Amino acid sequence: MIRLQRLFAVLVLLAVPTGGAGAGVSDWVTVQGGAVRLVSAGRIADGTYLAGLEFALDPGWHTYWRFPGEAGIPPEIDLSGSANMAASRIHYPAPERFFDGFSSSIVYHDGVVLPIEVEAGDAAAPVDLTAAVFFGLCNDICIPAEARLALTLDPNGRTDTVSLKAIRAAQAAVPAPAAADGPRVVSVDVVPGKRAPKLIIAAELAEASDQTIDLFAEGPPGSSIALPDLVSRDGGRAVWSLSTRGLRHDGTGADLRLVLVVGDRASESVHRVNAASLK
């Protein structure tokens, strides 16, 4: 939810750029605070392409992760208008925490590429990738913006090495599934809280205990939860506290997705919180 104390301006910019066959990028769609475009590294396997949604942000501006935190506008990315696309998957690199003096959000500064894996329906034919994107950019004001982007993914096109480098770098920043030999959340316990039960989340930091750490939480759709607060850090172990206030759940409980960031490494895991413990 976006705080009413901020001044809002609404900018809706609809554009349909043309990416020619084999082109590695679409045209930029420029909005106040930044710009957005589609990029492609080309085909990486028979019928599979590596693409990305690139945001370039002006100094001081930020955009939001898939779950914005206490305030903000999460991106809505619709690829359903694409032709000859059988499947797609959008990935989100690890974000950062931002406090604006009123609330804490989960954001990207400077810019970010969201990698997109695209599977063609007919591997021998081009994919006409189109993206209808609704997103927010904030500085002293917040700008909800829309863009319509288009890019042709040609099975006979050349590899765009610049786009490939940018997308691969973004892929390296995407949280990996938590593994026993790396940084990971090891327990999520429910304890009483003032307004609602709270979660005590413990993580093992492996050998990177001297690096910057953070933890981000995402509840089921419709949830409006805060960011976890770091309670303690001792050697290779850290503990956070998170109120369950605003955590949506069904009759059995809620799946909580946690992203642990340790230095330049990030891991992701899903933890079930039982409904009985949330009362």
Which residues form the domain of 266?
Answer: 177-278
Yes or no: say if 205 and 183 are a contact pair by the CB < 8 Å rule.
Answer: yes
Helices (H) and strands (E) in the chain, counts: 1, 20
Residues 153 and 41 in one domain: yes
Q: What is the pLDDT of residue 11?
A: 33
Same domain? For 73 and 115 the reply is yes
Q: Domain end: 123, 140, 173, which one? A: 173
Query: What is the separation of C-alpha 274 from the centre of its chain, rounded to a whole number of angstroms?
Result: 26
pLDDT at 20: 40
145, 124, 126: which is closest to 58 by C-alpha? Answer: 145
Mean pLDDT of 20-40: 86
Contact 76, 117 (CB under 8 A): no
What CATH number is attached to the domain comprising 154?
2.60.40
Q: Residues of 174-189 as b/e, b for ≥16 C-beta within 10 angstroms?
A: ebeebeeebbbbeebe
> Per the domain annotation, does 15 fall within a domain?
yes
How many domains is the chain partitioned into structurally?
2
Residue 139 clears pLDDT 90, i.e. is over it: yes
Q: Which amino acid is at 128?
A: D
DSSP labels, 228-254: PEEEEEETTEEEEEEE-TT----SSEE
Looking at the structure, tell me whether residues 135 and 103 fall in a common domain: yes
Closest of 87, 177, 174, 157 to residue 129, by C-alpha: 87
The verdict on 181 and 160 lying in the same domain is no
Q: Are 85 and 215 contained in the same domain?
A: no
Please state, in angstroms and rounded to a whole number, the distance separating the CA atoms of residues 133 and 114: 12
- pLDDT of 138 > 60? The answer is yes
243 inside domain: yes
pLDDT digits (tens, 9 = 90+) for 164-180: 999 999 999 999 999 98
Maximum separation of any 2 CA atoms in the chain, in Å: 61
192-248 pLDDT, tens digit each = 988 899 999 999 997 656 789 999 999 999 999 999 999 999 888 999 999 999 999
> Looking at the structure, do residues 66 and 151 belong to the same domain, yes or no?
yes
